[in-house]
Structure 1
Amino acid sequence: MEEPSAPAGLAVTARGLGLKGPRGWAFRGVDVDAEPGALVAVTGPSGSGRTCLLLALTGRMKPTEGTAEVGELRLPRQAAELRRVSALAHVPGVTDLEPALTVAEHLRERALLQRRFGSPVRGLLRGRAERAAASRELIDGSLTAAGLDLEALPKGPRTAVRDLERTEALRLEIALALLARPRLLGVDDADLKLADGDREAVWSLLASLTASGITVLAVCGEAPASASAITVSTRPHGETSDDEAKGAADALAETGRA
C-alpha cells in the first residue's frame, strides 16, 4: 500500500481582523503572521473571542472586518475550501465527544465518515479489504501522532470517553481530527485546567505536529515558553469588556445554531 505523504502546512496571515456579534465585538484588530508548519498560541482573557478567532481562521466563522489569507485561500470568500483542508479539536459545542461511547467506537465512526466523505474518488474504488487496511493504517498513524496508547487506557480501546483523563481525552480529540489529514489544525483550550507537567506535554505534542508539517492554532490561557511559538492576542489593550465578552458568546451561539 502506498504510504501517503505528510500534509503540508498552511501559512496564516491576517490584518486588522475583527468579528462582531449581535451585542458587540467578539475580537478586533488582530494581526497574524505565521509560516507553514508554525505553532500559533492564541491568548487572551476568557471571553475575549479566542475561540471565535480560531473558528474564523479555520473557515468556520465569517470575519466582519480586516483581511485574512490561509495558504492561498482568502477569507471569507474561500472559507468552504479552507474547511476541507483544516480540522478542529476540543472546541466546546462543535467537536464534543459522546461520553458513553468508547474510544474505539469514536475512532471507527470518524474513520468511516472520513472514508465516505473525505477520501478522493479513487479511494472509494478500492476493495473492502484494502479500504479496511487503509482505515487501520490511518487510525494507527493518527493515534501515534497524538501520543495516545490505547493499551495504556483503563479498558484499552473499550474505555468509555467519560473514563478518560483530561489529557487522554484531548489526545483522542486530536487523533480524531488528524484522521482528516489536515494542513491546519485548530485546538481550543489546549492548556485548560492542566498541571504544569501535563501542560508541557501538550505543548510538546502540538510542537511535534508542526514538525510533521501541520500548522497548529492553539487557544490557551498562557503561551508556551518555547521561542518557536508565535503568540497572537485577542485582547491587545487592557482587559476584556462586558460587551466584548457578550459579543464573543453571541458569535459562538450563532455558530452552534448553524
Structure 2
Amino acid sequence: MANFDELTDLWVREFHPASPGAVTLSCFPHAGGSASSYFSFSQRLTPDLAVRAVQYPGRQDRRKEPCATDLLTLARQVFEVLRPVAGARPALFGHSMGAVVAFEVARLLEREAGVTPAHLFVSGRRAPSIQRQETVHLRDDAGLIEEMRHLSGTDSQVLADEEILRMALPAIRGDYRAIETYEYRPGPPLSCPITSFIGDADPRVTVEDARAWHEHTSGEFDMKIFTGGHFYLNTHREAICDQISGKLLTADSRRPGA
C-alpha cells in the first residue's frame, strides 16, 4: 500500500515553492483538465500562497490509470490525500467540474476532519443543488469533440491533432460521466465563505445558477462576474488570482497569532 508521501506525489503538483506557513490553496481542474492548467495560478500566487494543483487519474503522467467516473468517489480519494497535508485552514478553488469536486472535498473536511476551509472559490459552475439532466458523456467521439469546441476550453492545436485527441478523449469522457451522473446529497451548509466566479456569456451557467451557491454556506458569500464564456478565466487569470489572494491574505492577517 502506498504511503502518504507517495499518494501526495501521485495526486498533487506543486510548481513553485511557497513561504513557510503560507495558506494552502488546492486547485481542482475542469473536465478533461489536468494539474498543469494551474501552473500560471501558482506562478502568480506563490510564494504568498502555497498552490497545490490536483492531478486526476487517467491523464498525462497518470494516463495508464482508470479514469474516475464517480465524482463522490473522486472527492473522497482527494480528501484522503489532502487531509494530512491540508494545513489548519486550507482554501480550495475549482473550475467547472472542479468546483463540485472542491465543494465535496470541503464538505468532507468539515464533516470528517473537523477542518473549516479558509475559503471555497467556485468558477464556471452552477450550485450543486441545481440538478439538470446532461448526457454529453453518452455522445460519440465527434459529439464530445463538438462540445469541447462549443465551450472553447481546449487548444485548437489539440483538437486538430488526432493522436493527442485519441489519448485525451477517455479522460474527457470519464470526467463528463462523473459530473453528469453526480447527485447532490442535501446536508448542512458549509461554514466557510464561498466566492463564485462566472463569465457573463457562459452557455452552460447563468448568473442565477452561480448566485445559488450562497445556499451552500452559512458564512459570507460573494460573486464576481467577468466578460467571456465558460473559459473566461483564460483571459482574466490575473484578476481572478488577485481576488483570491486579496481574500485569503486579508483573512489570514486577521487570524489570531498571524
User: Do the structures match in fold with TM over 0.5?
Assistant: no
Higher RCO (Cα < 8 Å, 6 or more apart): 1
Structure with more strand by fraction = 1
Higher alpha-carbon Rg: 1
Structure with more helix by fraction = 2
Q: TM-score, normalised on structure 1?
A: 0.30
